[in-house]
């Protein structure tokens, strides 16, 4: 007697006794898994990947200094939104990927392993896809926790690997398109199960769909799997949104930061101690140096009468957290003009921090709207917020809202 199994397009292959699987080969009998279920999970995952990829590209523009790609200042909350969505969808992909892998892993044990070239291509594309996705999600999640045990530049690798993931997704979809169309066009209760079943248990239909009874265990239907998955992902999203949506802050069990947790009611990404500037920023000899056609310097006492510009702006970190605050300080453009520059000048602000991102470049509308903040929420800046002077601008990553400023260079 032979064995049969349904492939993901509802077809059935018959295996003779000579090529029958060994007795020790893994066997799966649950009828919960099915092509219809897998296709629906894959569709949700594809949408999440697409959103995460596109918002990630927008996030990466913060690291670019191309003159032909100026950073807009409106909406002021643009980066806050796109990076928040990027992080939330990335986190939501973690449980979704795990459920998707659960739904298809029995197909990896079909016997024989390589019955055709198509099967080899399926396995190869799946291996590339799974490996790239797992590395991307794991390292991305570790980055949210500010823990980077890997030696490579996270931003560069994360950006490059995103193209590998999307390319692998498109390749896998192209190979599995007939199965995907079959699965999405089939009711959840009717789709072929992804398992091996003795041929004589289902002789009428010659497939793994048909008169098979629902499983006694685990006692959940295919629709129940989708509902449970959606509920779990919804909980992950809600308990993560507390790091950027203030009304949900009490529910932010998975929030890396929370909007009101931090000095002066604003979260902190990197402290003065971590940046190695705790001593230098409190020195009475601190001085802001402005270089350009007409170089000059400003002491701490010089800042106070010039700090008259106010703005309500968000700060939004690459880890997804964000908060809105009231800032007061100096107009960066006014200092640039005094040094002999103008709105079109390339301006670089440099931090006294040691290591990490220690400079930011501005021009055009970003330069015009930027503030060199001395106060936040009516109080003099805390050392962890960049005392004595920090850059704050609209629609910018917090990483480039440079803190603990020491030098401003007007280049052109």
> What is the pLDDT at residue 71?
87
Query: Shortest CA distance to 209 belongs to which of 180, 184, 188?
Result: 188
> What is the pLDDT at residue 113?
79
> What is the pLDDT at residue 105?
85
> What is the pLDDT at residue 7?
40
How far apart CA 361 and CA 63 sit, in angstroms, is 10
> What is the pLDDT at residue 217?
46
> What is the pLDDT at residue 194?
60
> What is the pLDDT at residue 222?
87
> What is the pLDDT at residue 109?
81
How far apart CA 271 and CA 286 sit, in angstroms, is 19
CB neighbour list of residue 316: distance below 8 Å, 6 or more residues apart: 77, 79, 80, 83, 84, 244, 322, 396, 397, 398
* Whether the Cβ atoms of residue 3 and residue 15 lie closer than 8 Å to each other: yes
Provide the CATH topology of domain 265-410. Sulfite Oxidase; Chain A, domain 2 (3.90.420)
Question: Per-domain residue ranges for the chain?
Answer: 3-251, 265-410
Element (H, E) at 5: strand 3-6
- Residue 112 CA: distances (Å) to CA of 3, 14, 22: 11, 11, 10
Return left, alpha or beta for 377; rule: phi > 0 is left, psi -120 to 50 is alpha, else beta: left
Query: Shortest CA distance to 187 belongs to which of 42, 36, 41, 39?
Result: 36
> What is the pLDDT at residue 85?
95
> What is the pLDDT at residue 60?
94
> What is the pLDDT at residue 192?
65
My answer on whether omega of the bond before 218 falls inside 30° of 0, hence cis, is yes
> Mutual orientation of helices 78-104 and 222-240 as an angle, nearest 10°?
150
**What does the pLDDT profile of the chain (412 residues) look like in tens digits?**
333 333 443 333 444 444 577 888 887 777 788 888 999 999 999 999 999 999 999 999 999 888 788 889 999 999 999 999 999 999 999 999 999 999 988 888 877 778 888 888 888 889 999 999 999 999 999 999 888 898 889 999 999 999 999 999 999 999 889 889 988 988 887 666 664 433 333 333 333 333 444 444 456 788 899 999 999 999 999 988 888 888 888 888 888 777 778 899 899 989 999 999 999 999 989 999 999 999 999 999 999 999 999 999 999 999 999 999 999 999 999 999 999 999 999 999 999 999 888 999 999 999 999 999 999 999 999 999 999 999 999 999 999 999 999 999 999 7
> What is the pLDDT at residue 5?
36
> What is the pLDDT at residue 14?
41
């Amino acid at each position: 007697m032979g064995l049969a199994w349904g492939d993901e397009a509802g077809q059935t292959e018959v295996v003779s006794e000579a090529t029958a699987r060994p007795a020790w080969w893994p066997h799966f009998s649950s009828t919960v898994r099915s092509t219809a279920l897998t296709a629906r999970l894959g569709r949700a995952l594809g949408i999440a990947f697409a959103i995460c990829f596109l918002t990630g590209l927008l996030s990466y523009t913060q690291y670019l200094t191309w003159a032909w790609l100026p950073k807009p200042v409106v909406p002021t909350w643009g980066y806050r939104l796109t990076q928040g969505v990027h992080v939330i969808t990335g986190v939501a992909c973690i449980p979704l990927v795990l459920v998707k892998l659960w739904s298809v892993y029995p197909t990896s044990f079909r016997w024989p392993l390589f019955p055709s070239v198509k099967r080899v291509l399926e396995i190869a594309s799946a291996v590339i896809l799974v490996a790239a996705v797992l590395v991307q999600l794991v390292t991305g999640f570790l980055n949210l926790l500010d823990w980077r045990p890997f030696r490579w530049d996270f931003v560069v690798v994360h950006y490059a690997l995103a193209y590998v993931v999307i390319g692998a997704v498109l390749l896998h979809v192209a190979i599995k398109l007939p199965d995907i169309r079959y699965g999405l066009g089939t009711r959840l209760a009717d789709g072929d199960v992804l398992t091996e079943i003795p041929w004589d248990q289902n002789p009428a239909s010659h497939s793994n769909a048909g008169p098979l009874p629902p499983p006694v265990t685990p006692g959940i239907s295919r629709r129940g799997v989708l509902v449970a998955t959606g509920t779990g992902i919804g909980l992950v999203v809600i308990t993560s949104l507390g790091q950027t949506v203030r009304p949900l802050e009490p529910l932010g069990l998975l929030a890396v930061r929370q909007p009101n947790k931090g000095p002066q009611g604003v979260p902190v990404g990197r402290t003065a101690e971590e940046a190695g500037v705790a001593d230098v920023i409190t020195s009475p000899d601190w001085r802001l140096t402005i270089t350009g056609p007409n170089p000059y310097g400003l002491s701490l006492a010089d800042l106070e009468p010039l700090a008259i510009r106010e703005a309500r702006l968000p700060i939004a970190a690459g880890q997804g957290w964000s908060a809105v605050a009231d800032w007061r300080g100096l107009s960066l453009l006014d200092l640039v003009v005094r040094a002999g520059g103008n709105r079109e000048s390339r301006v670089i602000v440099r931090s006294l921090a040691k290591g990490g991102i220690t400079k930011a470049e501005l021009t055009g509308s970003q330069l015009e709207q930027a503030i060199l903040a001395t106060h936040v929420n009516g109080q003099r800046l805390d050392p962890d917020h960049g005392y004595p002077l920090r850059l704050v601008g609209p629609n910018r990553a917090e990483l480039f809202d440079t803190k603990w400023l020491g030098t401003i260079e007007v280049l052109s």
